[in-house]
Amino acid sequence: MAFLDPGTGALVAVTVFLLVLGVLVVFVEAVRSRTALTLVLLSIVAATLLAFFGEVGFGLVALGFGAAVIADHAFDWLTTR
């Protein structure tokens, strides 16, 4: 039985994305490229495993975390050029 259906999972993923992005932009000066790549790959693996086990909603939350790391890295790259 899935704890989060895909609709609720998408809303929670957007919330996680915005919260993590806000924390990264405000409190973390810059995330190194290697660390960002590791976090993104871990979130993709976690989302894949969760989707495989039927927890699509939690998989979307994991992808939201990875997307926030990518957005922070892109924001940092764009503002320091």
Query: What is the per-residue pLDDT across 39-48, written as a single tens digit (0 to 9) for each?
Result: 999 999 999 9
Out of 23-27, 29-33, 48-52, least confident range = 29-33
Distance CA 48, CA 56 (A): 9
1-5, 29-33, 34-38, range with greatest mean pLDDT: 34-38
- Whether residue 72 contacts residue 27, with contact meaning beta carbons closer than 8 Å, is answered with no
Mapped onto helix, strand or coil, the DSSP state of residue 20 is helix
pTM, entire model: 0.83
Q: Domain-by-domain residue ranges, the chain?
A: 15-79
For residue 25, give every residue at least 6 positions away whose Cβ sits within 8 Å of its Cβ, in sequence order, or none.
72, 75
Please report, for residues 26, 37, 38, 57, the alpha-carbon distance to residue 31 in angstroms, rounded to integers and kept in the order given.
Answer: 12, 10, 11, 27
